[in-house]
Structure 1
Protein backbone atom coordinates (compact mmCIF):
# COMPACT_ATOMS: atom_id res chain seq x y z
CA UNK A 1 0.00 0.00 0.00
CA UNK A 2 1.35 3.40 -0.98
CA UNK A 3 1.58 5.97 1.78
CA UNK A 4 0.48 9.54 1.37
CA UNK A 5 4.06 10.77 1.45
CA UNK A 6 5.11 8.27 -1.25
CA UNK A 7 2.24 9.42 -3.49
CA UNK A 8 3.26 13.04 -2.97
CA UNK A 9 6.85 12.16 -3.89
CA UNK A 10 5.63 10.39 -7.04
CA UNK A 11 3.58 13.44 -8.02
CA UNK A 12 6.57 15.70 -7.46
CA UNK A 13 8.78 13.46 -9.59
CA UNK A 14 6.19 13.40 -12.38
CA UNK A 15 5.78 17.16 -12.30
CA UNK A 16 9.59 17.57 -12.44
CA UNK A 17 9.71 15.23 -15.46
CA UNK A 18 6.96 17.27 -17.12
CA UNK A 19 8.80 20.51 -16.37
CA UNK A 20 12.05 19.09 -17.75
CA UNK A 21 10.30 17.92 -20.92
CA UNK A 22 8.58 21.28 -21.36
CA UNK A 23 11.88 23.10 -20.85
CA UNK A 24 13.69 20.85 -23.36
CA UNK A 25 10.96 21.40 -25.96
CA UNK A 26 11.05 25.17 -25.39
CA UNK A 27 14.84 25.32 -25.70
CA UNK A 28 14.80 23.12 -28.84
CA UNK A 29 12.31 25.51 -30.43
CA UNK A 30 14.41 28.48 -29.39
CA UNK A 31 17.59 26.90 -30.78
CA UNK A 32 15.92 26.17 -34.12
CA UNK A 33 14.80 29.79 -34.39
CA UNK A 34 18.25 31.00 -33.39
CA UNK A 35 19.95 28.73 -35.93
CA UNK A 36 17.67 30.04 -38.68
CA UNK A 37 18.52 33.61 -37.73
CA UNK A 38 22.27 32.93 -37.54
CA UNK A 39 22.19 31.27 -40.97
CA UNK A 40 21.26 34.66 -42.45
CA UNK A 41 24.24 36.43 -40.80
CA UNK A 42 27.32 35.82 -42.90
CA UNK A 43 28.72 39.29 -43.57
CA UNK A 44 31.62 41.02 -41.84
CA UNK A 45 32.62 44.67 -41.82
CA UNK A 46 34.59 47.15 -39.81
CA UNK A 47 32.18 48.66 -37.31
CA UNK A 48 31.70 52.16 -35.98
CA UNK A 49 31.01 51.58 -32.28
CA UNK A 50 29.81 54.17 -29.77
CA UNK A 51 29.86 53.80 -25.98
CA UNK A 52 28.07 56.72 -24.35
CA UNK A 53 25.75 57.57 -21.47
CA UNK A 54 26.17 58.78 -17.88
CA UNK A 55 26.99 55.36 -16.42
CA UNK A 56 30.38 53.85 -15.75
CA UNK A 57 31.87 51.34 -18.18
CA UNK A 58 32.31 53.15 -21.49
CA UNK A 59 36.10 53.07 -21.65
CA UNK A 60 36.24 49.82 -19.67
CA UNK A 61 34.16 48.06 -22.32
CA UNK A 62 36.27 49.52 -25.12
CA UNK A 63 39.47 48.28 -23.50
CA UNK A 64 37.87 44.87 -23.12
CA UNK A 65 37.54 44.75 -26.90
CA UNK A 66 41.13 45.89 -27.33
CA UNK A 67 42.25 42.98 -25.15
CA UNK A 68 40.23 40.63 -27.33
CA UNK A 69 42.05 41.98 -30.38
CA UNK A 70 45.38 41.48 -28.65
CA UNK A 71 44.39 37.93 -27.69
CA UNK A 72 43.65 37.20 -31.35
CA UNK A 73 46.96 38.73 -32.42
CA UNK A 74 45.29 41.68 -34.18
CA UNK A 75 47.25 44.95 -34.31
CA UNK A 76 45.26 47.79 -32.76
CA UNK A 77 45.62 51.27 -31.30
CA UNK A 78 44.30 53.64 -28.63
CA UNK A 79 44.13 57.43 -28.75
CA UNK A 80 43.13 59.10 -25.49
CA UNK A 81 41.61 62.53 -26.05
CA UNK A 82 41.27 63.62 -22.41
CA UNK A 83 43.43 61.43 -20.20
CA UNK A 84 47.05 62.36 -20.61
CA UNK A 85 49.60 61.70 -17.90
CA UNK A 86 47.23 59.50 -15.88
CA UNK A 87 48.85 56.26 -14.78
CA UNK A 88 46.01 53.90 -15.66
CA UNK A 89 45.93 50.12 -15.41
CA UNK A 90 45.02 49.67 -19.07
CA UNK A 91 47.90 51.86 -20.17
CA UNK A 92 50.37 49.94 -17.98
CA UNK A 93 49.16 46.59 -19.27
CA UNK A 94 49.04 47.44 -22.97
CA UNK A 95 52.30 49.39 -23.17
CA UNK A 96 54.17 47.11 -20.76
CA UNK A 97 53.16 43.75 -22.21
CA UNK A 98 51.54 44.21 -25.61
CA UNK A 99 53.30 47.22 -27.10
CA UNK A 100 54.15 45.25 -30.24
CA UNK A 101 50.45 44.77 -30.97
CA UNK A 102 48.77 47.83 -29.47
CA UNK A 103 49.88 51.42 -30.01
CA UNK A 104 48.90 53.65 -27.10
CA UNK A 105 48.76 57.43 -27.50
CA UNK A 106 47.71 59.51 -24.47
CA UNK A 107 47.29 62.95 -26.00
CA UNK A 108 44.89 64.75 -23.69
CA UNK A 109 45.79 67.21 -20.96
CA UNK A 110 43.06 66.43 -18.47
CA UNK A 111 39.41 67.37 -18.20
CA UNK A 112 38.30 70.81 -19.36
CA UNK A 113 37.75 72.02 -15.80
CA UNK A 114 41.37 71.19 -15.05
CA UNK A 115 43.01 72.94 -18.01
CA UNK A 116 40.61 75.93 -17.95
CA UNK A 117 42.02 76.95 -21.32
CA UNK A 118 39.70 76.49 -24.31
CA UNK A 119 42.31 77.27 -26.96
CA UNK A 120 44.69 74.75 -25.42
CA UNK A 121 41.95 72.12 -25.23
CA UNK A 122 41.06 72.66 -28.90
CA UNK A 123 44.72 72.38 -29.92
CA UNK A 124 45.14 69.14 -27.96
CA UNK A 125 41.95 67.70 -29.48
CA UNK A 126 43.10 68.60 -33.00
CA UNK A 127 46.49 66.98 -32.43
CA UNK A 128 44.81 63.82 -31.11
CA UNK A 129 42.41 63.75 -34.07
CA UNK A 130 45.28 64.02 -36.56
CA UNK A 131 46.92 61.01 -34.89
CA UNK A 132 43.58 59.19 -34.89
CA UNK A 133 43.12 59.78 -38.63
CA UNK A 134 46.58 58.39 -39.31
CA UNK A 135 45.84 55.26 -37.29
CA UNK A 136 42.33 54.69 -38.67
CA UNK A 137 43.63 54.94 -42.24
CA UNK A 138 46.24 52.25 -41.53
CA UNK A 139 44.78 49.05 -42.98
CA UNK A 140 47.14 47.02 -40.81
CA UNK A 141 45.19 47.92 -37.67
CA UNK A 142 42.06 45.95 -36.80
CA UNK A 143 40.66 48.33 -34.16
CA UNK A 144 41.22 51.92 -33.06
CA UNK A 145 39.76 53.27 -29.81
CA UNK A 146 39.13 57.02 -29.60
CA UNK A 147 38.80 57.27 -25.84
CA UNK A 148 36.71 60.21 -24.55
CA UNK A 149 36.52 61.78 -28.02
CA UNK A 150 32.81 62.39 -27.40
CA UNK A 151 33.78 65.05 -24.87
CA UNK A 152 35.85 66.90 -27.49
CA UNK A 153 32.96 66.61 -29.94
CA UNK A 154 30.42 67.75 -27.35
CA UNK A 155 32.31 71.01 -26.77
CA UNK A 156 32.87 71.46 -30.53
CA UNK A 157 36.63 71.21 -30.19
CA UNK A 158 36.30 69.01 -33.27
CA UNK A 159 33.77 69.31 -36.08
CA UNK A 160 31.42 66.34 -36.06
CA UNK A 161 30.88 66.71 -39.80
CA UNK A 162 34.60 66.34 -40.44
CA UNK A 163 34.76 63.22 -38.29
CA UNK A 164 31.78 61.57 -40.01
CA UNK A 165 33.13 62.47 -43.45
CA UNK A 166 36.50 60.93 -42.64
CA UNK A 167 34.88 57.71 -41.42
CA UNK A 168 32.82 57.48 -44.61
CA UNK A 169 35.67 58.15 -47.01
CA UNK A 170 38.91 57.06 -45.35
CA UNK A 171 38.15 54.24 -42.90
CA UNK A 172 39.26 50.89 -44.36
CA UNK A 173 36.37 48.42 -44.77
CA UNK A 174 37.50 46.04 -42.02
CA UNK A 175 38.71 48.52 -39.39
CA UNK A 176 36.64 48.89 -36.22
CA UNK A 177 36.58 52.36 -34.65
CA UNK A 178 35.30 52.81 -31.08
CA UNK A 179 34.14 56.17 -29.72
CA UNK A 180 33.75 56.58 -25.97
CA UNK A 181 32.47 59.35 -23.73
CA UNK A 182 29.25 60.93 -22.54
CA UNK A 183 26.84 62.90 -24.70
CA UNK A 184 27.62 61.35 -28.07
CA UNK A 185 26.46 63.59 -30.90
CA UNK A 186 23.34 62.45 -32.71
CA UNK A 187 25.17 62.54 -36.03
CA UNK A 188 27.68 60.01 -34.67
CA UNK A 189 24.92 57.80 -33.31
CA UNK A 190 23.19 57.88 -36.71
CA UNK A 191 26.42 56.89 -38.48
CA UNK A 192 27.32 54.11 -36.04
CA UNK A 193 26.73 50.37 -36.44
CA UNK A 194 26.66 49.64 -32.70
CA UNK A 195 25.63 52.08 -29.97
CA UNK A 196 25.50 51.30 -26.26
CA UNK A 197 24.28 53.77 -23.65
CA UNK A 198 25.55 53.14 -20.14
CA UNK A 199 22.86 54.09 -17.62
CA UNK A 200 23.80 55.32 -14.18
CA UNK A 201 21.83 53.54 -11.45
CA UNK A 202 24.18 53.93 -8.50
CA UNK A 203 27.76 55.16 -8.12
CA UNK A 204 30.03 55.18 -5.04
CA UNK A 205 31.32 58.68 -5.87
CA UNK A 206 27.96 60.06 -4.73
CA UNK A 207 28.54 58.42 -1.37
CA UNK A 208 31.93 60.04 -0.90
CA UNK A 209 34.07 57.22 -2.35
CA UNK A 210 36.88 58.45 -4.60
CA UNK A 211 37.99 56.81 -7.85
CA UNK A 212 40.02 53.70 -7.09
CA UNK A 213 42.69 51.77 -9.02
CA UNK A 214 41.39 48.59 -10.57
CA UNK A 215 37.85 49.98 -10.75
CA UNK A 216 38.04 53.38 -12.44
CA UNK A 217 41.62 53.40 -13.71
Structure 2
Protein backbone atom coordinates (compact mmCIF):
# COMPACT_ATOMS: atom_id res chain seq x y z
CA UNK A 1 0.00 0.00 0.00
CA UNK A 2 1.18 3.50 -0.83
CA UNK A 3 0.20 6.59 1.11
CA UNK A 4 0.57 9.72 -1.00
CA UNK A 5 2.76 12.49 0.34
CA UNK A 6 -0.30 14.77 0.31
CA UNK A 7 -2.86 12.22 1.54
CA UNK A 8 -5.30 13.91 3.91
CA UNK A 9 -6.14 12.32 7.25
CA UNK A 10 -9.83 12.93 8.02
CA UNK A 11 -10.45 12.69 11.78
CA UNK A 12 -14.21 12.36 12.04
CA UNK A 13 -16.22 13.33 15.15
CA UNK A 14 -13.68 12.38 17.82
CA UNK A 15 -15.69 14.26 20.44
CA UNK A 16 -16.09 13.92 24.18
CA UNK A 17 -19.85 13.40 23.95
CA UNK A 18 -19.23 9.89 22.64
CA UNK A 19 -17.90 8.98 26.10
CA UNK A 20 -21.47 9.20 27.46
CA UNK A 21 -22.20 5.46 27.80
CA UNK A 22 -25.58 6.25 29.34
CA UNK A 23 -26.64 7.84 26.05
CA UNK A 24 -24.80 5.71 23.46
CA UNK A 25 -24.51 2.34 25.18
CA UNK A 26 -21.72 -0.23 24.85
CA UNK A 27 -18.90 0.52 22.44
CA UNK A 28 -16.34 -1.65 20.68
CA UNK A 29 -12.62 -1.17 20.04
CA UNK A 30 -11.09 0.44 23.12
CA UNK A 31 -7.89 0.92 21.05
CA UNK A 32 -9.51 3.37 18.61
CA UNK A 33 -8.25 6.57 20.26
CA UNK A 34 -4.72 5.19 20.56
CA UNK A 35 -4.71 4.31 16.86
CA UNK A 36 -6.12 7.73 15.96
CA UNK A 37 -3.33 9.32 18.00
CA UNK A 38 -0.70 7.23 16.17
CA UNK A 39 -2.11 8.31 12.80
CA UNK A 40 -2.11 11.96 13.87
CA UNK A 41 1.49 11.69 15.04
CA UNK A 42 2.55 10.14 11.71
CA UNK A 43 0.77 12.86 9.74
CA UNK A 44 2.48 15.56 11.83
CA UNK A 45 5.90 13.91 11.38
CA UNK A 46 5.48 13.63 7.63
CA UNK A 47 3.83 17.00 7.03
CA UNK A 48 0.64 15.62 5.51
CA UNK A 49 -2.62 17.57 5.88
CA UNK A 50 -5.05 16.78 8.70
CA UNK A 51 -8.75 17.59 8.43
CA UNK A 52 -10.74 17.55 11.67
CA UNK A 53 -14.49 17.05 11.35
CA UNK A 54 -16.75 18.04 14.24
CA UNK A 55 -20.42 17.11 14.49
CA UNK A 56 -22.94 19.67 15.75
CA UNK A 57 -26.09 17.93 17.05
CA UNK A 58 -29.47 19.38 17.91
CA UNK A 59 -29.79 21.07 21.32
CA UNK A 60 -30.12 18.65 24.21
CA UNK A 61 -27.94 15.96 22.63
CA UNK A 62 -24.37 15.06 23.69
CA UNK A 63 -22.72 16.67 20.62
CA UNK A 64 -24.76 19.91 20.66
CA UNK A 65 -22.68 23.05 20.18
CA UNK A 66 -23.46 24.26 23.71
CA UNK A 67 -22.85 20.87 25.37
CA UNK A 68 -19.55 19.89 27.00
CA UNK A 69 -19.55 16.78 24.79
CA UNK A 70 -19.16 18.91 21.66
CA UNK A 71 -15.48 19.39 22.55
CA UNK A 72 -12.86 17.28 20.83
CA UNK A 73 -11.32 14.41 22.78
CA UNK A 74 -7.81 15.07 24.14
CA UNK A 75 -6.17 12.96 21.40
CA UNK A 76 -7.39 15.53 18.85
CA UNK A 77 -7.79 18.70 20.95
CA UNK A 78 -4.22 19.96 20.46
CA UNK A 79 -4.15 19.40 16.71
CA UNK A 80 -3.98 22.42 14.42
CA UNK A 81 -5.76 21.06 11.36
CA UNK A 82 -5.31 22.28 7.83
CA UNK A 83 -9.11 22.42 7.79
CA UNK A 84 -11.85 22.21 10.44
CA UNK A 85 -15.22 21.09 9.06
CA UNK A 86 -18.40 21.41 11.10
CA UNK A 87 -21.42 19.35 10.05
CA UNK A 88 -24.93 18.52 11.18
CA UNK A 89 -25.40 15.33 9.12
CA UNK A 90 -23.47 12.08 8.67
CA UNK A 91 -21.21 13.01 5.76
CA UNK A 92 -18.22 15.30 6.16
CA UNK A 93 -18.88 16.36 2.55
CA UNK A 94 -22.02 18.20 3.73
CA UNK A 95 -20.26 20.45 6.20
CA UNK A 96 -18.81 23.94 6.38
CA UNK A 97 -16.47 24.83 4.84
CA UNK A 98 -16.91 22.65 1.73
CA UNK A 99 -14.55 19.67 2.12
CA UNK A 100 -14.70 18.58 -1.52
CA UNK A 101 -13.85 22.10 -2.74
CA UNK A 102 -10.94 22.36 -0.29
CA UNK A 103 -9.54 18.96 -1.29
CA UNK A 104 -9.85 19.86 -4.97
CA UNK A 105 -8.08 23.20 -4.50
CA UNK A 106 -5.29 21.41 -2.60
CA UNK A 107 -5.02 18.69 -5.25
CA UNK A 108 -5.61 15.94 -2.66
CA UNK A 109 -6.85 12.65 -4.16
CA UNK A 110 -6.19 10.18 -1.33
CA UNK A 111 -8.04 10.20 2.00
CA UNK A 112 -7.36 8.19 5.14
CA UNK A 113 -10.41 8.13 7.41
CA UNK A 114 -10.64 7.50 11.15
CA UNK A 115 -13.03 8.42 13.93
CA UNK A 116 -16.47 7.81 15.38
CA UNK A 117 -18.91 6.11 14.59
CA UNK A 118 -17.66 3.39 12.26
CA UNK A 119 -21.06 2.60 10.76
CA UNK A 120 -22.45 6.12 10.74
CA UNK A 121 -20.37 9.20 9.92
CA UNK A 122 -17.18 7.32 9.00
CA UNK A 123 -19.01 4.95 6.64
CA UNK A 124 -21.14 7.69 5.09
CA UNK A 125 -18.10 9.88 4.46
CA UNK A 126 -16.17 6.92 2.99
CA UNK A 127 -19.04 6.06 0.64
CA UNK A 128 -19.33 9.64 -0.60
CA UNK A 129 -15.56 9.97 -0.98
CA UNK A 130 -15.49 6.78 -3.04
CA UNK A 131 -18.36 8.04 -5.21
CA UNK A 132 -16.53 11.33 -5.71
CA UNK A 133 -13.48 9.44 -7.02
CA UNK A 134 -11.11 9.69 -4.08
CA UNK A 135 -8.73 6.87 -3.19
CA UNK A 136 -10.11 6.04 0.26
CA UNK A 137 -8.16 4.12 2.90
CA UNK A 138 -9.94 3.08 6.09
CA UNK A 139 -7.89 1.76 9.00
CA UNK A 140 -10.99 0.31 10.64
CA UNK A 141 -9.19 -0.24 13.95
CA UNK A 142 -8.92 3.56 14.22
CA UNK A 143 -12.72 3.78 14.50
CA UNK A 144 -15.34 2.63 16.96
CA UNK A 145 -19.10 2.38 17.25
CA UNK A 146 -21.87 1.30 19.61
CA UNK A 147 -24.41 -1.50 19.89
CA UNK A 148 -27.54 -0.55 17.97
CA UNK A 149 -31.16 -1.76 17.99
CA UNK A 150 -32.75 -2.57 14.65
CA UNK A 151 -36.35 -1.94 13.60
CA UNK A 152 -37.50 -5.18 15.23
CA UNK A 153 -35.75 -4.34 18.49
CA UNK A 154 -32.92 -6.81 17.98
CA UNK A 155 -29.64 -5.33 19.20
CA UNK A 156 -26.69 -5.73 16.86
CA UNK A 157 -23.31 -5.72 18.60
CA UNK A 158 -20.90 -2.92 17.79
CA UNK A 159 -18.28 -5.44 16.62
CA UNK A 160 -20.76 -6.88 14.11
CA UNK A 161 -21.71 -3.42 12.86
CA UNK A 162 -18.02 -2.57 12.36
CA UNK A 163 -17.43 -5.85 10.51
CA UNK A 164 -20.45 -5.15 8.26
CA UNK A 165 -19.15 -1.64 7.54
CA UNK A 166 -15.71 -3.01 6.65
CA UNK A 167 -17.31 -5.59 4.36
CA UNK A 168 -19.62 -3.06 2.69
CA UNK A 169 -16.87 -0.51 2.07
CA UNK A 170 -14.27 -3.02 0.91
CA UNK A 171 -16.60 -5.28 -1.07
CA UNK A 172 -18.43 -2.33 -2.60
CA UNK A 173 -15.20 -0.71 -3.77
CA UNK A 174 -15.68 2.43 -1.70
CA UNK A 175 -12.47 2.03 0.34
CA UNK A 176 -9.49 -0.18 1.08
CA UNK A 177 -10.08 -1.45 4.60
CA UNK A 178 -6.77 -2.01 6.37
CA UNK A 179 -5.12 -1.93 9.80
CA UNK A 180 -3.61 1.19 11.35
CA UNK A 181 -0.20 -0.53 11.50
CA UNK A 182 -0.24 -0.94 7.71
CA UNK A 183 -1.08 2.72 7.16
CA UNK A 184 1.65 3.82 9.58
CA UNK A 185 4.27 1.64 7.85
CA UNK A 186 3.29 3.00 4.43
CA UNK A 187 3.15 6.62 5.64
CA UNK A 188 6.66 6.41 7.11
CA UNK A 189 8.24 5.01 3.93
CA UNK A 190 10.14 7.56 1.86
CA UNK A 191 8.35 8.64 -1.30
CA UNK A 192 9.33 6.66 -4.38
TM-score, with structure 2 as normaliser: 0.44
Higher-helix-fraction structure? 1
Q: TM-score scaled to structure 1, two decimals?
A: 0.40
- Where relative contact order (Cα < 8 A, 6+ residues apart) is larger, the structure is 1
Structure (1 or 2) with the greater strand fraction: 2
| Bigger CA radius of gyration | 1
